[in-house]
Amino acid sequence: MKTSTFLHAGAVLSLALFAGCSDAGPPTPAAPVVVDGRIPVFAAAASGPKSVLPTGKGLGVALGADPRARAKNTIEYHAGPVMTNVQDVYFIWYGTWGSDSVAEKNKTIMTDLASNFCGQAYTDMWQAYTDTQGRAPLGCLIYAGNYFDAYSHGRTLSDADVADIVRNQFATNWLPQDPAGIYIVLASADVAESSGFGTSYCGWHGRTDYGGSQHHIGFLGWPERAPSNCAPNGVGPNGTVGADAAASHLVGLLSDIATDPAFGAWYDKLGLEMADKCIWTYGTTYTAANGAKANVRLGSRDFLLQQLWVPSRNGGACALHP
C-alpha cells in the first residue's frame, strides 16, 4: 500500500512551519502522531524543554513571539541524511491559477525565485550542515518543471490529500519520479488546508512513498488567504502581497528540506529546523525600487527573505550569508 509519512500537530497554534516561539516552551498536543514509527515527545510548558522531534511545521506562527527564544538552543546533528548534490524543484499549482496579469505575475515571481536559487551567498549557508561523511547540501536547486491541478481533491485539503496530489503526478506521468526531486504543492488563495494553514503554519514539508521510493514534498498555502499570519509585511519588493510573502516561506521550506529531509538530521531541542529558528527575522535590509524593504537579490529581482540559522562553535546565529 502506498502511504505518506509526515508528522503534523493538528491545528495547535504554536506548532507550525515559518513561525515564532515563546519562552514558555512547546505545548503538549492532544495526541502525538507517528512518523516513520517514531512517537514525538513534547514537553509540557511547566516541565521545561525536552528533546522534540521536528514536525516539518516548525514552532508557532505568532508574530508577537520573541525571536530570541528560538535562538536559545543550538542546532544539533542527529546522524540522519541531508540532501547532497543538486536538487530539482517541481511546482504543482493547485486550485485556480488564471491567466490574468496578477496571476501571471505571482507565478512568474515564484518561478524566477526557484530558477535563481543556485550559487548564491544565501544558499551557501546550507553548506554548514554536513552528514556523517562530511557531505553537505550544495546550496543549489534547479527549477525542473510544473503542473496545474484544478481541484482534484476539492477546496479543502488534508495532509494526506497533499501527498496524494503529488503521487497522482507520478501515476499519470505528469511529473517524473525524480530521485533528486522536491515537489511543492502551491495552493491558491481559495484553498484551505485542514490541519491548520494560516492559524498553525504557512507551509510544511514531509515525505510520501510511491512505488517503494520516498519522495520529498512540501505544501505552501497562498499567504493572502491568511495575511495577518502569513503575509504580515504587506506589499513586498515585487509589488505583491502573496508572492512576496510566499517567496520567503518557500526558501525557508526548501532550507529545512535540504538540511533535515527525513526528520533525523539537523534540529534543536525544540524540534526547530534551520529556517524555523529565524522566521520573521530579516537582518540588514535595503529599499527596493518600489519603496518596499528587501534584503536579497536573486537574478533580476529583489526579495525580502527570512534569515537562516548558521551554526558555529559558539552556538550559531540568524544570518543572510555564511
Does residue 185 surpass a pLDDT of 60? Answer: yes
Q: Note the pLDDT of residue 186.
A: 98
Does residue 81 surpass a pLDDT of 80? Answer: yes
- Global pTM exceeds 0.75: yes
Residue 99 binned pLDDT confidence (cut-offs 50, 70, 90)? confident
HEC readout, the chain: CCCEECCCCCCCCCCCCCCCCCCCCCCCCCCCCCECCECCCCCCHHHCCCCCCCCCCCCCCCCCCCHHHHHCCCCEECCCCCCCEEEEEEEEEECCCCCCHHHHHHHHHHHHHHHCCECCHHHHHHHHCCCCCCCCEEEEEEEEEEEEECCCCCCEECHHHHHHHHHHHHHCCCCCCCCCEEEEEEECCCCEECCCECCCECEEEEEEEECCEEEEEEEEECHHHCHHHHCCCCCCCCCCCHHHHHHHHHHHHHHHHHHCCCCCCEECCCCCCCCHHHCCCCCCCEECCCCCEECEEECCEEECCCCEEECCCCCCEEECCC
Rounded Cα distance, 245 and 232, in Å: 8
Q: Which of 305, 280, 294 is nearest to 69 (CA)?
A: 280
Residue 172 binned pLDDT confidence (cut-offs 50, 70, 90)? very high
Q: Note the pLDDT of residue 73.
A: 87
Domain that holds residue 221: 4-319
Residue of higher predicted confidence among 94 and 315: 94
Q: Note the pLDDT of residue 53.
A: 86
Number of domains in the chain: 1
Which residues, 6 or more positions from 28, have their beta carbon under 8 angstroms from its beta carbon? 42, 43, 44
Q: Note the pLDDT of residue 10.
A: 28
Q: Note the pLDDT of residue 69.
A: 75
